[in-house]
Structure 1
Amino acid sequence: MALPLALAVVSAGGCSEYPADPEKSLSHARGGQLSVGVVEHPPWTDLSTSTPSGTEVELITEYAQRIDAEIRWVPGSESELVGLMGEHELDLIIGGFDENTHWTSEAAPTRPYETPAEGPGRIVLTEQGENALLMDLESFFIERETP
């Protein structure tokens, strides 16, 4: 009798949405709005003009086109933007972060992406627990790197 009960528990656990999208970040962004925090860090992100520019801005713009999303750029400091992400106000944060950033305890880092100019090693921060967005963004990175 213990085996059927164990199978029922495992089966019930399998009914949840995978990958997780508890705040519906990916669902809201598809065909809607992607909110992106931007930290000044040339050449990845440049806030010296009215519209953000740089390698990561171009990367995220391309991703937004893929999911048919309009981007809401939110410039700020790292701590301000991580705070906004914790309040579910941002979907992503860009700013030339690498794998050694201390923000990985408060945000979920993507796998390092690769660009022809800079090579591998930079990451994008996403909201913790929003695995659907994280996985979709990482799939986009992999597709771009595949010749």
Structure 2
Amino acid sequence: MARTARPLLTGLLVPVALAALAGCSGGFPADPDGTLERVTGDVLRVGITDNPPWTEAAGGAPPGGLEAELATEFAGTLDAEVDWTVGSEEVLIRDLEAGELDLVVGGFTGRSPWSKQAALTTPYTTVPDEQGKPEPHVMAAPLGENAFLVRLETFLLQNHRDVLP
């Protein structure tokens, strides 16, 4: 009896599971807070902290540096304008967690202490550190906003693996 029940049970569960998945709205990956959809055609809110040559955000001048350029180019792929917020890493990451920012740049490395508060991108470039050891560079995005993160990482990896200071 157990031998005939298993195929019958499997035969019933598979269609039920497929029907349940088909009823799920949205695609995969998803953004629970809708970051990618909200930003597209609108405004990308980017936090920037001063860390030349990666980011330059001091003295009241417009933000600059390699990562500021990347953020601006990424916004262009989304038909979005950039709204810059200058601050310390701690304040910017807190604002990212609160949903007030969409992206934070600041020359972060793969050793960033912010990995519990932010989704760090896949390293988009690796440069030698002071001791000559490889040091991967990343950006910070909101946790859980996977469609946005995938779009950002795809942009970074397809276009900017060779960025060097």
Alignment TM-score, normalising by the size of structure 2: 0.79
Q: Residues 146 and 47 (structure 1 numbering): CA distance in 2 closer, same or farther, change over 3 Å?
A: closer
CA distance in 2, matches of 1:145, 1:50: 25
- Distance in 2 between residues matched to 1:67 and 1:115, nearest whole Å: 26
Over the aligned positions, Cα root-mean-square deviation in angstroms equals 2.3
Higher strand share: 1
Counterpart in 2 of 1:34? 44
Describe the shift of the 1:11–1:97 C-alpha distance in structure 2 as closer, same or farther (beyond 3 A).
farther
Moved beyond 3 Å, runs of 4+: none
Does the residue aligned with 1:27 lie in a helix, a strand or coil?
A: helix
1:2 corresponding residue in structure 2: 9
User: Per-residue CA shift, 1:26-82, capped at 9, x if unaligned?
Assistant: 111111110111111111111124311000000111111111101110111111111
Distance in 2, matches of 1:144 and 1:115, equals 14
Structure 1 vs Structure 2: percent identity of aligned residues?
38
2:153 is aligned with 1:138: yes
Q: Which amino acid aligns with 1:95?
A: G
Q: Where does residue 124 of structure 1 map in the other structure?
A: 139
Compared with structure 1, are the counterparts of its residues 131 and 100 closer, same or farther at alpha carbon in structure 2 (3 Å cutoff)? same
Whole-angstrom CA distance in 1 between matches of 2:91 and 2:76: 26
Maintained 8 Å contact 1:35/1:72: yes
Distance 1:121 1:30, change over 3 A: same
| 1:18 lines up with 2:33 in the alignment | no
Aligned-pair CA distance for 1:11: 4.4
In the other structure, the counterpart of 2:3 is: none
Give distance in 1, aligned partners of 2:44 and 2:13. 42
TM-score, with length taken from structure 1: 0.88
The equivalences for 1:53-64 within 5 A come to: 53-64=64-75
**Distance in 1 of aligned mates of 2:151 and 2:38:** 13
Matched positions, count = 146
Deviates more, 1:136-145 or 1:65-74: 136-145
Tell me which amino acid in the other structure corresponds to 1:70: E
Structure 1 unaligned blocks of 5 or more: none
